[in-house]
Every structure is written in C-alpha cells, then in structure tokens.
Chain A
Amino acid sequence: MSSRAMPHIGQVPDPSQGIETLAATILLIEDEPVTRTSMAARLTRLGYRVLEAENGRVGLEVARRERPDLLIVDWMMPEMDGLTFCDAIRGDPQLKSSQILLMTAHDAPAQIAEGLVRGADDFLSKSSSKQEIIARVLAGLRTSRLVRKLETTGEELKLSMLLLEKKQAETEADLQTAAAFVQSLLPSPGSPVHGITLAWEYQPSLTLGGDLFDVMTIDADHLGLYILDASGHGVAAALRSASLMTFLRAENMLQLLGSYDPANVLFEANRRFPLSADGDYFTLWVGQLHLPTGSLSYASAGHPGALLSSAEDPSRWLTTASFPLGFDPSARFTCDRVSLKPADRLFLLSDGIYEVPSPSGELWGRDRFQEAIDAGKQTSLSATIASCFAAARGWQQAQHFPDDAAVVGIELTDCREDTSNG
C-alpha cells in the first residue's frame, strides 16, 4: 500500500465517449493494490485521468486537493472505510455534492440501503463486467457534470442577485432624492398669507407620487390654488406631474395669461398637455381666492373637485362635469364662484383618499369622506385632515394607499370685507 496519491494521466481519449470524458478526473480509493491497479488501468484506457489512494483518509486529502469529478470508493478499507469516507464527504461543504460510487462485494439490500443512507450515489460490484463499469462511471460523471453546472448556475444567480440588489438600492436612492425634490415643491403648511391657514397630508402610493398641489400668492389680493392628478403611477406619472406643476407656477400664468383665472388656466393647460399615446392625462382643479372679499372662483378639468366646509352650513362639493386635460383639445372650461366666510374651510383632494376598498371590496367613497370632514369641524384643520386619513386607513384596514392620497385644506381665519356671493 502506498501512502501517496498516484495520478495516472490517461491515454488518448476515445471520442465516442463524449466530451465530458475528456477532462474527467476519477479518484479511485482501494486498499487492495492488485484490484486498484487493475481498475485504474481500465479507467485510464477509457481516457480518464485517474488518481489513486489506498484508504479513505488519504482519499479525503486527495479529494479536497483535486476536486475529482467522480469518487470510486471501496467499502472495506483500513484506517477509514468506504462508509466513513461517505460520511466525511457529505459533511464537507466543499465536497458534499461529489458523486460517490461505492465499490463492494456486498449486494444484500440492507447493505445497499446503508450505503445509500451514508451518502453513496451508486454501487459497483468488484466482479462487474467492463460494460457495467463503463455504464456506471458514465452515469456518475453525467450526474457530476449536471450537479456542477447547477452549482455554477447557482453561484452566477447569487452574483446576479447581489448586482440586482445593488442596482435596486441605487434606483431607490435616486427615487428618494426625486421624491424629496418633489416634496420641496409642495407648499409649506402654516399661513401662506395673512388670514389663511394651510394644512395638508399627502401619501404617494409609490416613492414618487403623481398627485401634486400648490397654494401660492398671485398678487397682493389673490391666492391661487390647485390640485392635479396624473393618471397612472410611478416615475413617468411623477415626471409628467412635475412638468405640469412647473407650467402652473403663478409667474408663468401671469406672463402667459395676465391673470390666474381658473378657466383660462385650464384652457391653456388643456392645449399644452394632450392625451398621451398611452392614454395618460391629468385631471386638474384650479381656484383663485380674492382675499379682500373671500370670493373664490374655480374651474375643474375632470377632477373630483374640492369640498367647501362651512361652520354653519352643510359642506358641499365644488365641481362641475368636464373633460380632463387633453381629452378634447378645443374644450372650454366653466368658471364658477362661491364666497367664503371666516372659519370656512376648503379642502382640495385627490380621489385616492376615498377610492380605498374595504377588505370586502367596497369603496370608502366621497360621501364617507364628506362625513369625516363634517365630523371634524370642531377640531383644527390639520387634525381634521389627519382624521380623514385615519378613517380611510381604518376602512381599508391598511396603512398604505393603493393610489396617491392627498388632502389639502385652507381655512379663513380673518374677517373679510364682503361675504356676499360673487
């Protein structure tokens, strides 16, 4: 017996055995020199690179060093027998998927079963014919090749997943930056002008939202306000919304139209933001509040509208049926007027706040939203808005809204000169 592994480089391979035999390495572990030499010679003649070891312990060292494609192991050996060798291979993270052909004189079912339990993949009788040896070796190598391919693919997949996760993290960081930018475009809660309180809550359905709004000073006497809703979701909708938001800036409208007349703003926006080739469009509600009188003029382009909540009177919707932007390039929009009194509240909202389904699929709806607003008359503006969001979340029994949800509220906190209807 030798204590060293003895590699034998094979003869010219037989092309008929297939490409997998060309570089296949077989480790033959057998304590009986004559059997080992004879088997090694046979395998070498078949074109394999054959490594030899005289017991399991030496075989294990060679296996760890050479990572052979197939292990042919004798059952009975000194120092480390075939079954113990199988245990060691299956317990080694680097070698556990190796293919083991257990060579034995035993063929009793109980022993075969024990061999399989301990980790052998197949058996080879010491008295096997040349044909059987070839067949079992080929089968073992075929399995070995498939297992290695699977391992390689698994490694590649793991690497791809890591790359994907990295890219995803980068994209998410970009989206967060974009979301922060969009958020910075929204008006600051508080008091945009003397006598007006502003509060809002906004929860985009994705990182970037397509529903945007603004409350801005037009001139010393006028406050402009709008809420827009882009159809669809995601980055594309958010970019389109940001583009419309830029268009709706007070200075741009004053330059283009000479005023912030809501109907004219919608007419101009309708011309410039047509229905996209994918069916994307905006709905938009625009209002202009005359601060000295409290007179609010407003117009809507397919938007669900605004809700006027008065201290004494029942709340009412400020909207009219009209095409969204881009549906009809020649569309004209009607401007309506209403007078706001001190303590009146005006809520602009996106449909995402009330189009939330209960677990059974029933929508919360405009009426329930209106009830929530009416129920909050005695609380602060921000508390009323917060209670609407809480009620909607309670209805859907989820924190996350399926669509962008926004509620913007303004409250007149100062007496105006004139409260008659305009």
Chain B
Amino acid sequence: MQIKERIVPQGIILDVVGDLTYAHRAVFKAAVEKARQAGCRNLIVNLEQVRFVDSAGLGLLVLVSQNLKLQQAQISMLKPQSYVREIMSLANIPKMIPIYEREEDALMGRAA
C-alpha cells in the first residue's frame, strides 16, 4: 500500500493505493499522524485505488474518526470501490464516517 498526501486549502487528502489491511496498518497510521501533527481539521481518505479493506483496516478508520472527533476534526472517505463500499455498509461505517463521490464535496463536507 502506498499513500500520497495532498495538502489543499480545505484539508489534507490521502490518496491510498493498494489494500488497506492489517499488514499495512503502520503505513496508514503514520500518514494520519503526520496529517494530525500538521493541524489537519479535515482529513479525506481517497479510496478510489483501494480494492480491499479488511476488518483491521475498518477498525483503523473508525479509531481515527473517533480520535479526530475529540480534536474537533473530521475524517471522510472518497470514492470507495463497490466491494469496499459493501464491506463498509455491512458495518454501518457510513453512519460514522461520511462517504463522498466527488472530491469537491468531500472538501466542502457537504452531502453527495
């Protein structure tokens, strides 16, 4: 898994490529921590190039969501592929972490 960080005026976008799984949790954690230390208030995880998220990956997303909330910050997800969306729906993740189809909507934090 590779993560590229894009800093935009409204927040930070993490473009993730590969599987977000137990084996790659350290890479994801490090990217989130870097964004947090940069004072990011709006973190967007772009999942367009992510084919698979396992249970550990889901747990990380939820943990990050909870931690950011405590700091009055938020996380959202962008363009998950259909299987990833299915996994997330099963665990009710969209009720906890907003999912957007368009980057501009994610940046503005408005419903898709």
Pick from B58, B59, B96 the residue with the most CB of A within 10 Å: B59
Determine if B56 and A232 form an interchain contact, defined as CB atoms under 8 angstroms apart: yes
Pick from B52, B60, B90 the residue with the most CB of A within 10 Å: B90
Determine if B92 and A322 form an interchain contact, defined as CB atoms under 8 angstroms apart: yes
SS class of chain A's interface: helix, strand, loop or mixed? loop
Determine if A321 and B60 form an interchain contact, defined as CB atoms under 8 angstroms apart: no
* A202 CB within 8 Å of chain B: no
Chain B contacts for A280, CB-based, 8 A: 56, 59
| Per-residue B-contact encoding for A182-217, CB less than 8 Å = 1, 0 else | 000000000000000000000000000000000000
Minimum CB–CB distance for A369 against chain B, Å: 14
Minimum CB–CB distance for A273 against chain B, Å: 13
* A88 CB within 8 Å of chain B: no
Determine if A321 and B92 form an interchain contact, defined as CB atoms under 8 angstroms apart: yes
Chain A interface extent, by class: 20 to 34
Minimum CB–CB distance for A413 against chain B, Å: 31
| Per-residue B-contact encoding for A215-235, CB less than 8 Å = 1, 0 else | 000000000000001111100
Minimum CB–CB distance for A341 against chain B, Å: 27
A45 to B58, CA, bound (A): 75
| Per-residue B-contact encoding for A312-355, CB less than 8 Å = 1, 0 else | 00000001011110011000000000000000000000010001
From B54, B58, B95, contact of A355 by CB (8 A): B54
* A281 CB within 8 Å of chain B: yes
* B62 CB within 8 Å of chain A: yes
A302 to B89, CA, bound (A): 9
* B27 CB within 8 Å of chain A: no
* A283 CB within 8 Å of chain B: yes
From B63, B66, B90, contact of A319 by CB (8 A): B90
* A275 CB within 8 Å of chain B: yes
Determine if B90 and A231 form an interchain contact, defined as CB atoms under 8 angstroms apart: no
Determine if A281 and B90 form an interchain contact, defined as CB atoms under 8 angstroms apart: no
In chain A, positions 347-366 with a C-beta closer than 8 Å to chain B are 351, 355, 357, 361, 363, 365
A16 to B22, CA, bound (A): 58
SS class of chain B's interface: helix, strand, loop or mixed? helix
Chain B interface extent, by class: 20 to 34
Chain B contacts for A15, CB-based, 8 A: none
Determine if B58 and A363 form an interchain contact, defined as CB atoms under 8 angstroms apart: no
A1 to B38, CA, bound (A): 82
* A115 CB within 8 Å of chain B: no
Determine if A231 and B58 form an interchain contact, defined as CB atoms under 8 angstroms apart: yes
In chain A, positions 273-303 with a C-beta closer than 8 Å to chain B are 275, 277-281, 283, 302-303
* A403 CB within 8 Å of chain B: yes
Chain B contacts for A321, CB-based, 8 A: 89-92
Closest residue on chain A to residue B66 by CB atoms: A275
* A304 CB within 8 Å of chain B: yes
Minimum CB–CB distance for A6 against chain B, Å: 65
* B55 CB within 8 Å of chain A: yes
| Known contacts A302-B92, A322-B92, A363-B83; A327/B55 CB under 8 A | no
Minimum CB–CB distance for A380 against chain B, Å: 30
* B6 CB within 8 Å of chain A: no
Closest residue on chain A to residue B91 by CB atoms: A302
Chain B contacts for A357, CB-based, 8 A: 52
Q: List 7 contacting pairs A-B, 8 Å CB cutoff, sorted by A.
A: A231-B58, A232-B59, A278-B63, A279-B56, A280-B56, A327-B96, A363-B52
Besides A275-B63, A278-B63, 17 new A-B residue pairs in contact (Cβ under 8 A), listed by A number: A231-B54, A231-B55, A232-B22, A233-B56, A275-B66, A279-B59, A279-B63, A280-B56, A283-B55, A283-B91, A302-B91, A305-B90, A319-B90, A321-B89, A322-B92, A324-B58, A361-B51
